[in-house]
């Protein structure tokens, strides 16, 4: 690693996590420097980010949009395009840490290239681990690379794990806000609209993960993420509903002690911790105000109204090709819901069907997983209730 500020590349700088990462960089500008940013659709914002941070590289990942992209006011910035541009950015000698914040399995290639280049990964893109967890973790181990979680639950677990030894952990408990439909009856869930699903009670996030939170597929994906990131068997992973989103997750040790990490729901904290690790820095994240009364509730999840959770447990247990199929089916079904083609409850029903009839492979390689990802997306387009 170079001395002086850490050199950061952000994959997906125009998204919710990308923008919060830049807030942290602004607040910690003596410790962090932006070397590269990437964006896919909102190129006006990408230009403004480039003008502010003057990175060495700006990547327009949509090759069609790149053809007409003009970047003014950045004389030292090289503009690259497509996946090749992302790979060129993450393999640069001067990049120390890559924030993987593209949404969906579209983030897998860039994250993979960054690991192969030996870069520390701050991983927001959970779909990478859901799709190819065992291969990605093996690759990181082969290259001696740290994968530091940005997902708030996994960051909490990562922090609480520092209180004991791995073999002393009896289970991890992922907290879930429960989303906007936590108290909806099964019948009411049938009539959920796009606007309802996009209004999350505690977190301000991109549209895909916001819908995932409403179906609780987000928690399913996080069960799978925890399975691979921490090498835990499924019987050691639990979920509890905690609507206030203050306790971000917990680790229970064999003596019964539970260690929890608490902070207001603000992604700047886990993003910053992944970039400052192993240090802690003062930063821009909001702090809990203990002079005001507040309460924290915990409820068991309802697996009947939110069957996505069962899918998550099953896929984490079976592994192999299941993660790639579930993830891609869900991405495509969420897109179908947001286009008005699928009803809210059909998102999880369609994922269940496609998972059930896919050709299970216990040990797929990366190319097979990418092919399965494509297959599952097409199956969703053909799916009928
Ligand atoms: P978002 O939709 O706000 O942003 C997505 C980013 O990915 C944008 O920069 C977009 O330009 C880029 N992108 C989209 N499609 C792309 C493609 N095909 N190729 C390359 N780039 C593409 O999403 P977000 O909420 O910031 O989430 C990003 C990731 O972080 C997701 O994996 C999500 O699950 C995870 N995450 C987000 C939050 C949160 O609070 N937003 C919390 C935990 C984890
Ligand atoms: Mg999360």
Q: How many angstroms does the Cα of residue 328 sit away from the middle of ligand 1?
A: 15
Q: How far is the CA of 301 from the centre of ligand 1 (A)?
A: 26
15, 120: one domain: yes
Query: Are 16 and 138 part of one and the same domain?
Result: yes
Q: Which of 118, 149, 180 is the last residue of a domain?
A: 149
> Which of 10, 16, 204 for a ligand 1 pocket mutation test, highest count of atoms within 8 Å of Cβ?
16
CA atoms of 70 and 64, how far apart (whole Å): 13
60: which residues sit within 8 A by CB, 6+ positions away? 38, 39, 40, 43, 46, 66, 69, 79, 80, 81, 85
Domain that holds residue 100: 6-149
Residues 187 and 52 in one domain: no
Residue 144 lies in a domain: yes
Residue 86 alpha carbon, nearest atom of ligand 1: 20
pLDDT tens, 295-318?
999 999 999 999 999 999 999 999
Q: How far is the CA of 18 from the centre of ligand 1 (A)?
A: 8
Would you say residue 326 lies in a domain? no
219 C-alpha to ligand 2 centroid (Å): 7
| Residue 202, pLDDT score | 85
Q: Give the residue among 304, 337, 327 at the shortest CA–CA distance from 192.
A: 337
Do 16 and 72 lie in one domain? The reply is yes
Mean pLDDT (the chain, rounded): 97
Residues 118, 159: one domain? no
Question: Using CA atoms, how far apart are residues 327 and 127, in angstroms rounded to an integer?
Answer: 7
> Of the ligands numbered here, which is closest to the C-alpha atom of 200?
1
Pocket test for ligand 1, best of 9, 12, 249 (most atoms within 8 A of CB): 12
> Which residues are CB-neighbours of 48 under 8 A, at least 6 positions away?
none
Q: List, for residues 47-80, the tens digit of each pLDDT value.
A: 999 999 999 999 999 999 999 999 999 999 999 9
Contact 115, 140 (CB under 8 A): yes
Residue ending a domain, choose from 116, 149, 182:
149
Same domain, residue pair 49 and 184: no
Domain co-membership, 119 together with 220:
no
Which pLDDT does position 204 carry in this prediction? 87
CA gap 86, 111 in Å, rounded: 9
Count of structural domains within the chain: 2
What's residue 47's pLDDT? 98
pLDDT tens for the chain, 385 residues long, are 446 899 999 999 999 999 999 999 999 999 999 999 999 999 999 999 999 999 999 999 999 999 999 999 999 999 999 999 999 999 999 999 999 999 999 999 999 999 999 999 999 999 999 999 999 999 999 999 999 999 999 999 999 999 999 999 999 999 999 999 999 999 999 999 999 999 988 888 999 999 999 999 999 999 999 999 999 999 999 999 999 999 999 999 999 999 999 999 999 999 999 999 999 999 999 999 999 999 999 999 999 999 999 999 999 999 999 999 999 999 999 999 999 999 999 999 999 999 999 999 999 999 999 999 999 999 999 999 9
- 296 in a structural domain: yes
Residues lining ligand 1, judged by CB closer than 6 Å?
A: 12, 14-18, 39-41, 61, 101-103, 106, 124-127, 151, 203, 205-206, 208-209, 267
Does 106 fall in a domain? yes
65 CA → ligand 2 middle, Å: 30
Mutate to test the pocket of ligand 1, among 205, 212, 213, 216 (most ligand atoms within 8 A of CB): 205
Could you tell me if residue 280 is inside a domain?
no
Atom of ligand 1 nearest to the CA of 110: 20
Cα of 13 to ligand 1 centre, how many Å? 9
User: Do residue 12 and residue 102 come from a single domain?
Assistant: yes
Residue 130 and residue 17 share a domain: yes
315 within a domain of the structure (yes/no): yes
CA of 17 relative to ligand 2 center, distance in Å: 12
CATH of the domain at 98: 3.40.50.720
Which residue's CA is minimally distant from atom 16 of ligand 1?
40
- For residue 200, the model assigns a pLDDT of 86
Distance CA 320, CA 362 (A): 4
- Relative to the CA of 152, which ligand 1 atom is closest? 43
Q: Is the dihedral of CA 158, 363, 326, 89 positive or negative?
A: positive
- Which pLDDT belongs to residue 135? 98
Instruction: Quote the ligand 2 centre to 268 CA distance (angstroms).
Output: 13
The residues that bridge with 358 in the sheet, in sequence order, are none
Please state the atom number of ligand 1 nearest to the C-alpha of residue 151.
Answer: 43
Give the model's pLDDT for residue 203.
83
Residue 130 falls inside a structural domain = yes
- Same domain for 173 and 143: no
Question: Which residues, at least 6 apart from 61, have a Cβ–Cβ distance to it below 8 Å?
Answer: 38, 39, 40, 81, 82, 83, 85, 86, 102, 106
**Selection from 337, 345, 336, 338 nearest residue 381 by Cα:** 336
Same domain assignment for residues 141 and 159: no
Give yes or no: residues 312 and 216 share one domain.
Answer: yes
**Could you tell me the distance, in angstroms and rounded to a whole number, from the CA of residue 359 to the centre of ligand 2?**
29
Per-residue model confidence (pLDDT) at position 2: 47
Q: Which atom of ligand 1 is nearest to the CA of 208?
A: 2
Query: Whose CA is closest to atom 42 on ligand 1?
Result: 151
Looking at 123, 149, 175, the residue that finishes a domain is: 149
pLDDT at 201: 85
Residue 115 belongs to some domain of the structure: yes
């Amino acid at each position: 690693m170079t001395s002086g500020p850490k050199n950061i590349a952000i994959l997906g700088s125009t998204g919710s996590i990308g923008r919060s990462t830049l807030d942290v960089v602004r607040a910690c500008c003596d410790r962090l420097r932006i070397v590269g940013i990437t964006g896919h659709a909102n190129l006006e914002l990408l230009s403004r980010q480039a003008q502010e941070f003057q990175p060495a590289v700006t990547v327009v990942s949509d090759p069609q949009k790149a053809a007409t992209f003009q970047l003014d006011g950045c004389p030292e910035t090289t503009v690259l395009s497509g996946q090749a541009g992302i790979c060129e950015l993450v393999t640069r000698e001067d990049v120390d840490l890559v924030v993987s914040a593209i949404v969906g399995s579209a983030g897998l290639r860039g994250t993979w290239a960054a690991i192969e280049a030996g870069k520390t990964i701050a991983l927001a893109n959970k779909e990478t681990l859901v799709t190819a967890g065992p291969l990605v973790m093996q690759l990181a181990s082969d290259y001696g690379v740290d994968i530091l979680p940005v997902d708030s639950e996994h960051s909490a677990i990562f922090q609480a794990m520092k209180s004991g030894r791995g073999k002393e952990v009896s289970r991890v408990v992922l907290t879930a806000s429960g989303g906007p439909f936590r108290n909806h009856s099964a019948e009411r869930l049938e009539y959920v609209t796009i606007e309802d699903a996009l209004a999350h009670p505690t977190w301000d996030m991109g549209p895909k993960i916001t819908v995932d939170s409403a179906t609780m597929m987000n928690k399913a994906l996080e069960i799978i993420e925890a399975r691979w990131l921490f090498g835990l068997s499924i019987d050691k992973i639990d979920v509890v509903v905690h609507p206030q989103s203050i306790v971000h997750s917990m680790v229970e040790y064999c003596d019964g002690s539970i260690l929890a990490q608490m902070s207001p729901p603000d992604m700047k904290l886990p993003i910053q911790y992944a970039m400052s690790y192993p240090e802690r820095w003062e930063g821009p994240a909001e702090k809990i105000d203990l002079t005001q009364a507040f309460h924290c509730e915990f409820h068991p999840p309802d697996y009947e109204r939110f069957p996505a959770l069962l899918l998550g447990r099953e896929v984490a247990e079976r592994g192999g090709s299941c993660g790639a199929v579930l993830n891609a089916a869900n991405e495509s079904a969420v897109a179908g819901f947001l286009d008005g083609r699928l009803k809210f409850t059909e998102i999880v029903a369609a994922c269940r069907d496609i998972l059930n009839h896919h050709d299970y492979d216990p040990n797929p390689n990366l190319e097979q997983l990418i092919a399965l990802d494509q297959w599952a997306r097409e199956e969703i387009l053909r799916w009928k209730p």
